[in-house]
Structure 1
Amino acid sequence: MRDIARLAGVSITTVSHVVNSTRSVAPETKAKVLDAIEHTGYTGDVIARSLVTGGTRSLGVAISLAANPELLRAIEHETTRAGYTVVLADTHDEPDAEQSAVRTLRSRRVDGLVLTPSPRASGTALPQLRTLGIPVVLLDRLTTSQDVDQVGPENVYATSGLVRHLADLGHRRIGMITGATGLATTSERVLGYRLGLGRSRLTWDESLVVPGTPAEAALGLLLELVSPPTAVVAGDNTMLSGVLRECRRRGVRVGVDLAVVGYDDVEWAELLDPPVTTVAQPIAEMGRTAVRMLLDRIADPARPPVTKRLPTTFIHRRSCGCP
């Protein structure tokens, strides 16, 4: 800062005001300081400043980098708009990697953290963050606990709607290939599947619900039943891609031999032949909402925890057998 002050012909105090926006500085003086900063390549020591201010103006995001790019873009945009920066750590959707990611973000002294818990990771990172008093918002994969901020899509009625649509088309044997076990989203979508059966006056058959690990093998089990399903609900986009891959391998015509629908819309769903009927999550809005909730928590640590469920959209295409 002394070098910058000397180069710009101003006091160190003036440089500080320009860098930290602590006081208005005359435009021509500010321009000289900014030119000197550009010339010297100066960058502030965020970690050192955090020891004084108590914050780094940065938000940590612990999430699998295989997540929807639209989600990551929305988080980055909303964070930048609020004057913060994003520090991203990949959980690889594994509990140990999640712990490591959270430790990395803590070492960066982030002001708060957006977390998408990995499967079977309950009892690890989240309780640790609570104990340390670090502001956190759960994204997408919610917990039944009411003591943490969280935002995610509506899962139960959305999945129920997929089942009822298939039932309205005359299907009586509707299978489901679920997402990863140990996730609240998986449990909620299975609950929605059961609700859809009940509302369509169809009987629950445990053999028609198979965990998709992988989805190709799960679909094989369903198709080899004595009385196989005529329609299948895929629990997420990974399951959907596996189902479609296995249909192609077996020569099963989607929308003709087997109706297929899925929870979670993806770009390629409308490009296939036939295009795939799905439930679309409000991906971008989930990301923006998570950031806003985290900033609210940082500003007011004592406020009651909030859970937000965002509505989904039924995207009707032709893989369900409709013209």
Structure 2
Amino acid sequence: MTTMVDVARRAGVSVATVSHVLNDTRPVRPDTRAAVLGAIDELGYTHNTLARSLVTSRTHSIGLAVSAISNPYFTEILQGVEAGALEAGYSLLIADPHDDPEHERKVVQLLHERRVDGMIVAPSAEPAGMIEYLTRRDVRTVFLDRLVGDEHDQVCAENTGPVRQLVEHLADLGHTRIGLVAGLPGLSTTGERIQGYREGLRSRGLPFAPELLAGGNSEAEGAQDATRHLLAAPEPPTAVITANNAMTIGALRALRDRGLQVPRDIALACFDDFSWADLFSPRLTAIAQPSKDIGAAAVRLLLERLEQPDRPPRTLRLPCTFVHRTSCGCPDPGAADAQPSQALQERNRTP
């Protein structure tokens, strides 16, 4: 088994110099560093990270707690976190809190007991117990996707403006009855997207109708029930917005069960784009979140916090992108002779 002594001999330096190169504990001349790294590569030396952690009190690992890792949105966030951590020389320990406050608290404790240097957490709707645990133990933490207060480092996408944009787009197409399938109560994302919905109605002079706002609990089954509820209203919506990608699936199932075709019978737009959204027929008009960028930004914030533990907390909001496709009733941007659907033309002719 190759040791640091072997590396030092091959590179013609001291064992201490090899240690400084591996642990970044002291500046080393570029040519000396290159010689050490060359010897490491030639001999196939593997650094003992456990021994390093005993010396530096750091494990160079990050705990990541996000719910529904199978969700494409969180999968892309995970990719961003992983890329950022790998680039900085950190490994990841990943756990799923299942959006359950009690389980979330246990998951955070287990990650902490693995001696991670810091954590990145997508909090549940009731994160008080988890936050209290982290705060009392002074665990460096960045919250992502869902905000928990200005006293913490956190990163998320813009929510209010993009939903307002969806509402205004549908209103400009002639819709006056626009429904929203909202997310899990208590999440900052849910509140902000409802706010955007109401602002969009107000900006186009449309009244807020409580029967057109239904809660889908941020998951497909709940959204299916919520969409059925909207369709059962005395005056059902002519357009529906879903507030995340899982709920889009539930809404589509409910529309299919009613025999409704999008956008001929009802328009649909969604918050959260996903890689196969343009494979539907019609293709889904959506708000795309910068998921990978959110993950990478969370890593940067955490590393800054580890290096500057006393700096003021920061909240980063990243802009979203309006992806204009055809489920809203607009013509396909890729079709040269595209015309609005007949139903949409009739709707626009309605005084």
- Identical-pair percentage: 42
State whether residues 18 and 33 of structure 1, in contact with CA within 8 Å, keep that contact through their aligned partners in structure 2. no
Q: Which residue of 2 aligns with 1:174?
A: 178
1:288 pairs, out of 292, 296, 299, with 296
1:98 pairs, out of 79, 100, 104, with 104
Matching of residue 71 in structure 1 with residue 77 in structure 2: yes
Q: So what's the TM-score if we normalise by structure 2?
A: 0.83
Per-residue deviation at 1:93? Answer: 2.3
Which segments of 5 or more consecutive residues in structure 2 lack a partner in the other structure?
Answer: 332-351
2:274 pairs, out of 266, 279, 283, with 266
State whether residues 223 and 247 of structure 2, in contact with CA within 8 Å, keep that contact through their aligned partners in structure 1. yes
Q: Measure, in 2, the Cα distance between the counterparts of 1:255 and 1:163.
A: 15
Query: How well do the aligned residues superpose, as a CA RMSD in angstroms?
Result: 2.3
SS of 1:96 mapped into structure 2: helix
Q: Which residue of 1 aligns with 2:345?
A: none
After TM superposition, the structure 1 = structure 2 runs for residues 301-312 of structure 1, keeping only pairs within 5 Å, are 301-312=309-320
Residue 3 to residue 136, structure 1, CA distance change in 2 (3 Å): closer
Q: Measure, in 1, the Cα distance between the counterparts of 2:163 and 2:103.
A: 30
Q: Which residue of 2 aligns with 1:113?
A: 119
Per-residue deviation at 1:171? Answer: 0.7
Q: Which residue of 2 aligns with 1:132?
A: 137
Higher mean alpha-carbon deviation, 256-265 vs 50-59, is at 50-59
Matching of residue 186 in structure 1 with residue 186 in structure 2: no
Q: Measure, in 1, the Cα distance between the counterparts of 2:142 and 2:133.
A: 14
Q: Which amino acid aligns with 1:133?
A: D
Q: Which amino acid aligns with 1:108?
A: R
Q: Deviations over 1:255-296 (max 9, x none)?
A: 110111011111121110000111111111111111111111
Residue 147 to residue 26, structure 1, CA distance change in 2 (3 Å): closer
Q: Measure, in 1, the Cα distance between the counterparts of 2:177 and 2:305.
A: 46
Q: Which residue of 2 aligns with 1:89?
A: 95
Aligned residues: 317
1:122 pairs, out of 107, 120, 127, with 127
Q: Which amino acid aligns with 2:127?
A: S
SS of 2:202 mapped into structure 1: helix
Matching of residue 163 in structure 1 with residue 175 in structure 2: no
Q: So what's the TM-score if we normalise by structure 1?
A: 0.90
Which segments of 5 or more consecutive residues in structure 1 lack a partner in the other structure?
Answer: none
Per-residue deviation at 1:97? Answer: 2.4
SS of 1:253 mapped into structure 2: coil
Per-residue deviation at 1:33? Answer: 5.8
State whether residues 157 and 318 of structure 2, in contact with CA within 8 Å, keep that contact through their aligned partners in structure 1. yes
Q: Measure, in 2, the Cα distance between the counterparts of 1:194 and 1:26.
A: 59
Higher mean alpha-carbon deviation, 9-18 vs 74-83, is at 9-18
